[in-house]
Each structure stands twice: as structure tokens, then as C-alpha cells.
A and B are shown apart, each in its own frame.
Chain A
Amino acid sequence: MIKKDILLFISDAKTLLVLAVLAILCVTGIFIARGASSPTNITVGVVDLEQSGRSEMVKTYFAENEDFKSFITVTEGTEEEIRELFDRGGLDFYFVIPENFTDEMIRMKNTPLKAVVNSTDKAKAAIYGALLESYSRYITSVEVNVESLTFSMREEGYDPSLIKEKNVEISFDLVFTALGKDGFFERIPYDRMASLPLTDHYIYSVLILLVLYAGMLTGYAVLLERKSGVRARLVSCGISPFRQIVSKVVVYGTLMTAAFIAVVSVMKAFGNIEFTFGAGVYLTFMIYGSCIIFSITALVIRSRNGYCFFSNMAILLMTVLGGGIIPVMYLPGALSSFAQYMPAYRFITFILTR
């Protein structure tokens, strides 16, 4: 039986060719995904209509801050120049600092700081919007506290020169406190768990998707034998249906595992993907498990079209619920409770746990 199934598998040149193409696509996809994931600079424009010492101070801070420079490129210019650059798609967003912005702020006149965001890409625009909202909270905190000190000193009758001196002192202090906000946190890496970049997350998800499709292919082979009457003929020769399915699972499972190990080895060697021996064993069990489940499905669903509809949808559903497309933490509560039963979730959790 096993010899027959091996011969059947390797004699189907078209399927083998398609599998080879799939393997090449997998490896190529990884390199494309790796290229796509490298972040590019955010381009920001600044129109400074104020041109005061304070606005200069903030601009100089950002211009000289190495961390900031590594992911943001700031371009300064007149409103016309910046708008022209924005319209050509050269900027992600730009600010207009109005005339007398700081003075009016001190006088409790909150002149809004105009921010124009390029919304051609909705996802990007949403991120920038959320970021600006968070920064507005910083500015409000600084502003309220600086003004509180000034007002209280005024009410208590302090000398205007002392009020001004303290205002400048606290303004500088709070602005730089806000800019140095990263220091508020003491980061402690959790050694029992690794982080997973988004690209790697999708690479592992695709791997599990392919494992499931390997199972579907096994089930399809079982279904075809049944439809063409081969199964009935083998039964008449004394080979039980159980033996037939075991043979199919062993042959397809073993050959698919070999193919997966080859692809994963290339990915590990050239794509810098972390893949341990334990993960390989885990993947092998998943391949055999998937072959068994889909072979049973093929016994239950007798229509070829029905099997295709059901299996494809089951795979898509398992991938979604297992956090293969949207990480589990971002799934609604009702859906995320199913995650622990899904292969994608199990595999990714296994990879991350140390």
C-alpha cells in the first residue's frame, strides 16, 4: 500500500511541479516580506511662523537628538514650500506653528497648532492621529503647571521679574521632562518569552497555513480514490479502508514533512528565521495531525466541491481564530477564547516560549 501511494504521489508530475513552485514562492515571499518590513523614515514638515527663541529651542532639540533623527526626517520651510512638497507626496504630515504661538499660550490664548496629515493611506494617518493626540496631553500638562505657578505667584504678589525668571526655569524643566519621557520607565525584559516581529509572525502563520493545506491535499487524495472506485476495489482485495487511510497519511505526511524541512532549512539559512529542533518536531506532529483530520473529513463529505468549500473555509477560519492574521490579543474576547484550540496559535506560542 505504501509503495503504491509513493508511486502515485511522485507520478503526479503536475502536483509535484505545483508543490515545487509553492516552495520557491514561500522562500521568495520571505525575502520580499523582510524587505517590506524595514521601516522607512517618517517625513515631517514644519512651518515656523513664530520664529522665536522657544520654537528654535524645540527644533534644535529634535535636530540634534540621535534617536529622533533615526526615524524622522524634518524639513523646514515656508508654508508654500511645505504645502507644495506635501501635495507631491513628499511629506507624511506637517505642522504650522502660528505667529506668537508661545506668547499666546502664556496669555491663556490657546491658538491651535495646525497639523495637516496625508490621509492617502488610512492606516498610516490613523497612527499619526493617535500619536498627535498623545502629544497634546503632554503639552496640556506642561502648560497647566507652568501657568499655575505663574498665576499663584502673581496672586501672592511676587515681583514680576521673579515670576518671569521662575516661569522660564519651570518651562525649560517641564519641556525637557516631557521630551525625556522614556526615562519614566524601567524596562525589564521577560526572559521566558521572546518577542515576534510582525513579519516573522506572518511567516509562521503562512507555514501553518501550508501545513493545513498539506492535510487538505491528503484528504483530497482519499476522496479521489473513493470517487474513482479504487477504494472499493482495494477492499475487495482484502485491504481494509483503515489500512488505506493509514498508508495515505504515512506517505503524504512523510513526504510533506521532508518538503517542509527543506523549505524551513532554506529559510533558516538565508532568511534568518529562528527554527529549533523542537519546533521541527512540533511541526511534524502538526503535519501528521492535519493529514489525519482532513482524511476523516474526506470520508464524511462525499462531494468534491463540498469538500473544497468546507476545507478551505475551515482553514481560513482556523487561521483567523488562531491569530494567524490578526494577533490573538487584538481579537474580540468571544473569538479569542477559541484560539487555544487552533494550530496557528499553538505553534506561535510554542515558538515564543523559552
Chain B
Amino acid sequence: MGAFLLRLKLLLADRIASVCYVLCVIVMVSVFLNMNIHASETSRVPVGVVCESESQIAQRLKNALLESDALRVTCGTMDELEELLMDGYIGSIFIIGDEYEEKLKNGIKEDLIKVITPSDDTSSIVVQDIVAGYMMYDVCYYRTYDVYSSLPAETGREDDNAGGVDRMTASEYYDYVAKLAENPMYGFEFDIEYIDIDRSDNKNVNITVAMIYRQIIAGLIGMLLMVLVVCGCNGFALEKGLSIDKRRKTVGRSYARDHMLEMLAVLVYLTPAVLLSSLIMLGESGMGGASFIFLIGEAFCAFFILLCFVLAKITGSASSYQLVGTIVCLVFGACGFISTFSAVTGDTVLGGTPVALYIKGFADMLV
């Protein structure tokens, strides 16, 4: 146990390093916690809406977009929203023009709304699909009303009373459709069943878009742990540079056992950070999930401590070790994020890399 205690004492005795460690972990965990608390809101797609029309239909569309679960809408003037677009705070601007209602009433279904996007942008097409969902009701209503208003005055039935039917006015017809739309039998919904084909027990879980956001937070936590491990193992590289290893051998210390205990000491030193990071999503994962996240966090750190130990021994100098450690963090971190995003856009690549596995383990606990 001597080697374990010695390493732990060495780590804790460096007061500046310990203060930096505690401060950094607190700041980073606070940032991640903030991101997680707002995950549902911030995972919505940010768009700007300029409503130039005062008509009831245009205002209704604006309000529906403001209440949308999929969009985060900022309303404002063109100049204000242009500035937000330039600063990267929104991805596109939808302009509901003065003539919106008029076009609908005339049965026009092309170019109803202007969309301003950065040039060559294709991602806003998905946003258009969402906005179209909110426009669809009114577009369909006016097209149907057009057919209704052009119906013959005579019903055409043999038992028809002479004089024709008592036709509804546009507003009466609108109320008639609205009343029907309120009927719960008309709310069409897909019966969505989620099946994890790799895990038969993981059926019909609750999956939302916020899940993607939380996977990115999990990747960031993974990167934080990696960076902490690289810093925590700095001592191995410093000692190698100062030839302390060789001196140890001359006094006959058990090389493998001592190093195992030292690595265990680094793991214990980093455990408070792992514990804090596993509690970030306690609300989503529950106590059992958080415990599992803590365990995979410990396993993840143990793997990286072993890797950093080997790197420290190979590089032999503290500055080279820092550089190599940084590269390892960057490469594995990038692989994790590429794996997550490649899954969204196509086939998963680099899914077997450590950060990608950590993200997957984390995500499994959130559903």
C-alpha cells in the first residue's frame, strides 16, 4: 500500500494543482449541468420569424410556431434577426409577408413564405418540413373551402326542396372545420415503437431530440475525464524524466505491483470528478442509471490511466508526454463525436473507439 499512499500524497501535496483540479471540475460540471437542464429547450431548432402581416391567419401561424416543441422561435424585425443570423444564433429567417392570407384565400400554394438562409445551406429544408406542418391546416382549409363554395346551389337529389341549400359563410365554415378538428378522433398519430435490435429488453423507450444533445454532453464529459487523466498522470512522465524509476529498481521494489497501486491512486484521486459527472443527468437516468454511469466512468478512466502510464514511459519527458496526451484526447474525442454524428447522417463509423463506447453506455442509461 506504500506506493498507493505515496502517489496519493504526491498528488494532493501539489496544492496549486489540487486547487486547479477542484476549480476546473466545478466549473466544467456546472457548465455541463446547465447544458443538460436546458437540453429540451436548446435542442430545438433556432429560427427567426418576421411577421409582416396583422391578419388573424398570419398571427395564428406565428403563435403556433412560437409554441412548437421542435422549434425555438425568435420574433423580431428583419434587421434584428439578420444580426442574429450573422452572429450564428439562428439558422434561418421565415418571413410571413403581408400577402400571406390573400395568397391562401386565392388557393395559391406556392411561395407562401420567404425563407432566408445562409447561401448554399441545405439543412433548413428539415426546418421547412416542420413549419409546413403548421401551415398545412390553413392551406388545406382554403383549398377545401374553394371546392365547398363552388358546389352547385341545388343538391341534385330527387327529394330536394326547390330553392337550394342554405350555404355556410367562410367564417361559419371555418368554425365548422375547427369544431371537427377538436374531435379527438381526428388527431392522427403514428403508433411509434422503438426497438433496440441489439438489446431485446430495451423496447418502447422514450426517445426525444434532446437525446442527441445529451449524447454530445456525454462526449464532453468523456473529454473532460480524459484531460483529467492526462494531467493526473503527469507525475509518471516527470519521474521518468528524473530517472526515479531507475533508482527504484536499484532498491528492489516490485515494479509491476507498485505501478498498479500508483495507477489505482490516480483513479482514486479522479473519483470525485467521475462521481460528480455521473450525477449531471441524475434526473434522466435515475439512481440506478447514475450508478452505472459512475461505473463506466471509472472503467473509462482506468483504461486511460493505463494508456497514459504507457505513454509517459514511452515519451520519457513531461513536455512530449503533454503533447502526446493532448493528441490522444483530441483523436479519441473527435472519434466519439464523429461516431455520434455519423450515426445521425448515415452509417455509424468509429463506434468501437473508447469515447464512442462511453457515449453509447451513457445514452443507454438515459432511456
Contacts and interface: CB of A to CB of B under 8 A. Distances in A.
Interface string A140-161: 1111111111011100111100
Interface string B193-228: 111111000100101111111011001100110011
B133 A137 contact: yes
A112 interface: yes
Given A86-B197, A306-B14, A110 B207 contact: no
A147 B42 CA distance: 38
A283 B279 CA distance: 38
Given A140-B137, A180-B109, A309-B24, 6 more contacts: A123-B343, A140-B188, A156-B165, A185-B114, A190-B119, A335-B34
Contact of A309 (B20, B41, B46): B20
B294 interface: no
Contacts of A240: none
B106 interface: no
B338 A177 contact: no
A117 B195 contact: yes
Contacts of A224: 318-319
Interface string A323-354: 10111111111111000100001001100110
Nearest 10 interchain pairs by C-beta: A313-B24, A305-B17, A195-B121, A306-B16, A40-B346, A137-B133, A112-B191, A303-B16, A332-B38, A119-B194
B215 A122 contact: yes
Interface in B1-52: 14-17, 19-21, 24, 27-28, 31, 34-35, 37-38, 41-43, 46
Interface stretch (A28-36, A245-253, A265-273): A28-36
Interface string B150-189: 0100011100100001111000010011001101011111
Contact of B322 (A22, A124, A189, A220): A220
B17 A127 contact: no
B126 to A, nearest CB: 8
Nearest to A98: B191
23 contacts: A14-B316, A15-B319, A18-B323, A19-B323, A37-B341, A89-B197, A120-B196, A123-B343, A134-B70, A138-B133, A140-B137, A145-B144, A183-B110, A185-B112, A188-B115, A189-B120, A217-B322, A306-B16, A309-B228, A321-B31, A325-B337, A327-B88, A329-B46
B191 A113 contact: yes
A121 B144 contact: no
A162 B151 CA distance: 9
Given A18-B327, A190-B85, A146 B165 contact: no
Contacts of B125: 182
A31 B300 CA distance: 28
A2 interface: no
B53 interface: no
A117 B207 CA distance: 11
Given A22-B323, A136-B190, A308-B231, A146 B144 contact: yes
A330 B16 contact: no
A175 B53 CA distance: 28
A82 to B, nearest CB: 13
Interface of A: 12, 14-15, 18-19, 21-22, 25, 29, 32-33, 35-40, 86-87, 89, 108-110, 112-127, 129-149, 151-153, 156-159, 162, 166, 169-170, 173-174, 177-178, 180-196, 198, 202, 206, 209, 213, 217, 220-221, 224, 301-310, 312-313, 316-317, 320-321, 323, 325-336, 340, 345, 348-349, 352-353
Contacts of A309: 17, 20-21, 24, 228, 231
A325 B123 contact: no
Contact of A134 (B89, B129, B167, B343): B129
B55 interface: no
B90 A329 contact: yes
Give the dominant DSSP class at A's interface.
helix
Interface in B48-101: 70, 82, 85-91
B92 to A, nearest CB: 9
Contacts of B187: 110, 140
Contacts of B82: 190
Most chain B CB atoms below 10 A, which of A117, A121, A131, A142: A121
B267 to A, nearest CB: 16
Given A87-B197, A113-B191, A189 B316 contact: no
Nearest to B123: A195
B322 A126 contact: no
A147 B342 contact: no
B35 to A, nearest CB: 6
A322 B177 CA distance: 49
A119 B205 contact: yes
A181 B148 contact: no
A15 B323 contact: yes
B112 to A, nearest CB: 5
Interface string B302-334: 000000000000011111101110110011001
A340 B122 CA distance: 26
A209 B134 CA distance: 41
B135 interface: yes
A37 B344 CA distance: 10
